[in-house]
């Protein structure tokens, strides 16, 4: 089981000192990956807990890569319809190149109506726009020369394409993951999503010759290594290949119990 953590890039916890401290503690504890979310235009009535402060995810990942050496960095999830596909592909390739191929690309189609309105994007077209972006990403990472709007251009740097994890609910997200992704990133209680995880892995094995990866969120029971191991075993048995650990925190020091537990699990 691969274990990552969710780092807040919103609210007062999104200061450079807090993010840096959490990252460095995570890397020292042997945490496999650090993930961040994506919001771009929070309306005032949705700002509780963040004050409307959200860092841009791709810019943040590039900065996070520069603060670390080995920990993987990911989006959970990058909202594809919010951004034009060519500049986004270039940003993704740049982060992958400069991070030493440490990027994990979780993507989604979005849900928040006010953000779509602020961006002038038709929410009803989010599935189509996402599929177009995913197809374009594959084209860019598969070819030195790419064509967009009847114009050919060189897509360089062209590092190894980062793994793509499709977020969202079954069945549409599973269909999209099978077509464009390396894995599925569902959210919800394990007992609720376990049957869908099994369905996804069976379908991916039948179509691709191997079961796809499954990434999801979880909360570790603090201070109890045995209970933590038992919880992780349940996720593994359900077909989950990576969990992203989240927790509430006011400062980086609040992560200490989680990192102590993770260090004990790795020992």
Q: Which of 179, 150, 154, 151 is nearest to 164 (CA)?
A: 179
Per-residue confidence at 115, pLDDT binned at 50, 70, 90? very high
Q: What is the CATH number of the domain that holds 146?
A: 3.20.20.30
Cα–Cα distance measured from residue 191 to residue 234, given in angstroms and rounded to the nearest whole number: 10
Work out how many domains the chain is built from and give that number.
Answer: 1
| Domain that includes residue 24, residue range | 2-266
pTM across the whole model: 0.97
User: In the prediction, which pLDDT does 219 show?
Assistant: 94
Give the helix/strand (H/E) hosting 60. helix 57-67
Torsional class of 100: left (φ above 0), alpha (ψ -120 to 50), beta (otherwise): left
151's tokens: 């114009």
Q: Which residues pair with 90 in a beta bridge?
A: none
Per-residue confidence at 267, pLDDT binned at 50, 70, 90? confident
pLDDT mean over 139-149: 98
Burial class (CB in 10 A: 0-12, 13-18, 19+), 63: middle
Report the 10 Å Cβ neighbour count for 201.
21
What secondary structure letter does DSSP report for 171? T
User: Tens digits of per-residue pLDDT, 200-257?
Assistant: 999 999 999 999 999 999 999 988 999 999 999 999 999 999 999 999 999 999 999 9
Question: Which residue bears the tokens 């179509």?
Answer: 207
Please, are residues 90 and 149 in contact by the beta-carbon 8 Å criterion?
no
User: In the prediction, which pLDDT does 222 show?
Assistant: 85
Please, are residues 118 and 54 in contact by the beta-carbon 8 Å criterion?
no
| Per-position DSSP letters for 117-160, written without gaps between them | HHHT--GGGHHHHHHHHHHHHHHHHH-SEEEETTEEEE--S--P
User: In the prediction, which pLDDT does 266 show?
Assistant: 82
User: In the prediction, which pLDDT does 127 show?
Assistant: 98
Cα–Cα distance measured from residue 141 to residue 4, given in angstroms and rounded to the nearest whole number: 25
In the chain, % of residues over pLDDT 70: 100
């Amino acid at each position: 089981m691969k274990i990552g953590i969710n780092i807040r890039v919103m609210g007062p916890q999104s200061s450079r000192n807090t993010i840096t401290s959490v990252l460095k503690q995570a890397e020292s504890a042997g945490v496999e990956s650090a993930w961040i979310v994506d919001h771009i235009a929070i309306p005032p009535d949705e700002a509780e807990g963040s004050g409307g402060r959200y860092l841009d995810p791709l810019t943040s990942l590039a900065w996070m890569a520069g603060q670390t050496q080995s920990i993987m960095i990911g989006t959970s999830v990058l909202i594809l319809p919010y951004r034009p596909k060519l500049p986004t592909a270039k940003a993704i390739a740049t982060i992958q190149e400069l991070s030493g191929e440490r990027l994990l690309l979780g993507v989604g189609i979005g849900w928040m109506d006010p953000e779509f309105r602020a961006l002038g994007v038709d929410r009803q077209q989010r599935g189509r726009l996402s599929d177009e972006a995913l197809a374009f990403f594959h084209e860019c990472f598969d070819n030195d020369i790419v064509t967009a709007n009847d114009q050919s251009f060189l897509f360089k740097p062209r590092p190894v394409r980062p793994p793509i994890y499709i977020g969202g609910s079954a069945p549409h997200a599973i269909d999209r993951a099978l077509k464009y992704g390396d894995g599925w990133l569902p959210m919800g209680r394990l007992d609720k999503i376990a049957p869908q995880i099994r369905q996804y892995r069976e379908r991916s094995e039948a179509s691709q010759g191997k079961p796809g990866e499954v990434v999801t969120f979880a909360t570790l029971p603090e201070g109890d290594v045995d209970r933590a191991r038992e919880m992780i075993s349940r996720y593994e048995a359900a077909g989950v290949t990576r969990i992203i650990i989240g927790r509430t925190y006011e400062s980086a020091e609040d992560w200490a119990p989680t990192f102590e537990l993770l260090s004990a699990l790795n020992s």
